[in-house]
């Protein structure tokens, strides 16, 4: 399991959130697949040119308002002193020697640039599924997120909904306003769901 974070300062907070949100599943992940982190931003091009607004997980009052809406700074926000410059790599570079089975992308509207730098990864059949947030936030950068949907369909992905309690996948034809699940290899994903061990959430095994 990999995590790509824009700032190494955020890493301990990410570990904490993973442990909290997964209700103990974090321990299982550490034992079965090491949790790795890299302090880098993902975009279309490489270089030390990216600007990322410093926001959530820092105990500074001026940063609290953005919280999980931390995002790549716009031209207007670049004038604000509460930003940091960080190195940028493409997703193709990061995954060149180790292709993930599933990809989770939530970059507050910058998803277009992330996928523009992932053409090789998207064509790689090892990548089975993508979870991505398409909620219109790309408009702040002038991006049309419908083009992301079209791009993923062209690469063989289809949209599904998932019920974790029944472990049921259903093919749907509409975008979620939160996280959208795209699956390319339904049989592989379905088998993993069936074979995976149950975990307890709110006193219920699912």
Q: 157 and 134 in one domain?
A: yes
Q: 161 and 65 in one domain?
A: no
User: How much is the pLDDT for 106?
Assistant: 85
Strands (E), the chain: 2-5, 36-39, 41-42, 47-53, 83-89, 102-105, 129-133, 158-163, 168-171, 179-183, 200-201, 204-205
Q: 190 and 111 in one domain?
A: yes
User: Which span out of 14-18, 45-49, 134-138, 157-161 was modeled with the highest average pLDDT?
Assistant: 157-161
pLDDT band at 24 (very low <50, low <70, confident <90, very high): very low
* Structural domain containing residue 132: 91-206
Q: 109 and 181 in one domain?
A: yes
Please state the domain count of the chain. Answer: 2
Q: 123 and 71 in one domain?
A: no
User: How much is the pLDDT for 49?
Assistant: 43
Q: 84 and 101 in one domain?
A: no
Q: 136 and 110 in one domain?
A: yes
Q: 106 and 160 in one domain?
A: yes
Average pLDDT value over all residues in the chain: 75
Query: In a 3-state reduction of DSSP, which class is residue 179?
Result: strand
User: How much is the pLDDT for 31?
Assistant: 37
Q: 76 and 98 in one domain?
A: no
Query: Is residue 158 pLDDT above 50, yes or no?
Result: yes
User: How much is the pLDDT for 75?
Assistant: 72
């Amino acid at each position: 399991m990999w995590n790509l974070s824009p700032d190494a300062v955020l890493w301990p907070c990410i570990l904490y959130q993973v442990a909290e949100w997964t209700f103990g599943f974090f321990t299982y992940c550490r034992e079965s697949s090491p949790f790795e982190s890299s302090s880098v931003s993902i975009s279309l091009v490489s270089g030390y040119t990216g600007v990322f607004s410093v926001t959530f997980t820092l105990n500074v009052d001026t940063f609290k308002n953005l919280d999980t809406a931390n995002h790549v700074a716009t031209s207007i926000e670049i004038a604000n002193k509460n930003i940091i410059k960080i190195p940028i790599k493409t997703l193709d570079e990061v995954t060149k020697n180790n292709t993930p089975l599933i990809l989770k992308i939530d970059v507050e509207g910058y998803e277009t640039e992330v996928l523009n730098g992932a053409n090789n990864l998207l064509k790689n059949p090892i990548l089975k599924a993508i979870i991505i947030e398409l909620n219109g936030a790309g408009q702040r950068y002038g991006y049309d997120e419908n083009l992301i949907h079209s791009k993923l369909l062209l690469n063989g992905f289809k949209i599904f909904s998932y019920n974790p309690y029944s472990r049921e996948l259903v093919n749907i034809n509409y975008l979620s306003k939160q996280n959208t699940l795209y699956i390319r290899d339904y049989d592989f994903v379905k088998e993993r769901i069936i074979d995976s061990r149950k975990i307890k959430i709110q006193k219920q095994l699912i």
